[in-house]
Amino acid sequence: MNFSLSDTWITHLPADIYEQLAHCLSLHGMVCAELFSRPDSALVQQLMLLTPVTAATVAALNGVQSQEQLIAALRQEPGHVYDLLLLGRLSLDTSLAEPVLRFVRQQMYVSEEQLVAIKVYCVELSEAFLASVEQHLAETDRAVAGRLGQHRLQIEEAFYTHSQSVSEEAEPLPSVANVRFNDPQLQMVRLAVLLVHSLPTDSEVAFVQAVAQIPALQPHNLEALTERLGALQAGEQITLSMPELVQIYQAMQVCGLVFVSDVMVQLGLEDFMSGPPEALEPTAEADAPARGPMSSRQAVGEMVSGFTEWVQTNFADDPEVVQAREEIAALTDLI
């Protein structure tokens, strides 16, 4: 929705308004980028009818890096800034936020509790800013304020409808394994799934392009697993269906291949990739042999081989695992 903010309101903004909003804008911008990376999703299709914001708009606003640039955006396209913050705060309550929050946690080296606090702070800040804009319009142009209120309700309704549709219980798939990951193992599995989910879609690296073609590792197919792993506590049992087992199996191997190859450098993932120092072989019905402490590349290699060997030993004849092995084997030729 198009509207304008008065010069008086803009000039009375705090002199450090960008500094106050920087983290909020960054987090909301990242989750909006995640949202619009799925242009064919029902939610984005609905939002395209309600807001002029697009992936290009989000990219442009994510380039705001100073007080001057923020003020310019508020003068030129205040509706875009408003919608970015509105869409961002709503998206942060969906599974779209999972890969973004995992990335933030990895980059900032914060605990889960600190991550929650960051999210709450940013959401509260964006709501305060939206409320300030709405109050200003209510005082200067009630007709525009009314249309903006209706605009916000329509967008919120789109997200509510989306949340209702994804929460409808589907026929559960049969479980094939019950596993427990200790804390380093769980962190490694999360890292592997996050890595695959976060690989660039426009990369010219042949390996990355090939990963993007693997059905089980499509970003939208990983969302449910990412959410489950995010809620899982170390030592807690998780029941896996065959598709979920295959996703972890393939994600772990992709992670291992990236870590021990030049792909890590090509994608600038040296800091992103840091594996915990214990081997990854989940505790299932039979106790796994203990492994000594590892570090760096050797540790990641042990984790990947431990889990993949466990899968191949217990599910060697399952056609899904056979196909998954063939798809990973094809990737190794591109390293």
Mean pLDDT by 10 residues, the chain (335 residues): 94 95 96 91 93 95 96 97 97 89 86 90 95 95 95 95 69 83 88 86 84 87 86 90 94 88 71 47 47 56 84 90 92 83
Residue 207 covered by a domain = yes
Residues 234 and 152 reside in one and the same domain? no
Q: Closest Cα partner for 72 from 61, 57, 84, 86?
A: 61
Residue 119: which domain range?
7-167
Residue 268 covered by a domain = yes
For the chain, first and last CA: distance in Å?
A: 48
Residues 125 and 186 reside in one and the same domain? no
Residues 6+ apart with CB under 8 A from 323: none
Residues 38 and 135 reside in one and the same domain? yes
Q: What is the 3-state secondary structure (H, E, C) of 264-320?
A: HHHCCCCCCCCCCCCCCCCECCCCCCCCCCCCHHHHHHHHHHHHHHHHHHHCCCCHH
Residues 21 and 149 reside in one and the same domain? yes
Instruction: Specify the 3-state DSSP secondary structure of 329.
Output: helix
Say if residue 228 is exposed, middle or buried (CB neighbours under 10 Å; 0-12, 13-18, 19+): middle
Residue 252 covered by a domain = yes
Taking only the tens place, the pLDDT of each residue in 200-246 is 777 788 888 899 889 899 887 888 888 889 888 888 999 999 999 99
Residues 154 and 182 reside in one and the same domain? no
Domain count, the chain: 2
Residues 238 and 106 reside in one and the same domain? no
Q: Does residue 175 contact residue 241 with C-beta atoms inside 8 Å?
A: yes
The neighbouring-strand residues paired with 175 are 241
Residues 255 and 132 reside in one and the same domain? no
Taking only the tens place, the pLDDT of each residue in 96-134 is 898 898 889 888 888 888 999 999 999 999 999 999 999
Residues 209 and 319 reside in one and the same domain? yes
Residues 154 and 259 reside in one and the same domain? no
Q: What angle do CA 225, 102, 86 make, to 5 degrees?
A: 95
Helices (H), 64-141: 67-76, 78-91, 97-108, 112-140
d(CA 68, CA 45): 33
Residue 116 covered by a domain = yes
Residues 101 and 223 reside in one and the same domain? no
The pTM score is: 0.57
Residues 132 and 220 reside in one and the same domain? no
Residue 2 covered by a domain = no
Q: How far is CA 9 from the centre of its chain?
A: 35
Residues 149 and 184 reside in one and the same domain? no
- Token pair 């990369």 is found at 203
Q: Closest Cα partner for 78 from 20, 16, 170, 151?
A: 151
Tokens linked to 139: 């005082």
Tokens linked to 164: 């209702």
Tokens linked to 305: 């081989």
**Domain's final residue, options 134, 167, 200:** 167
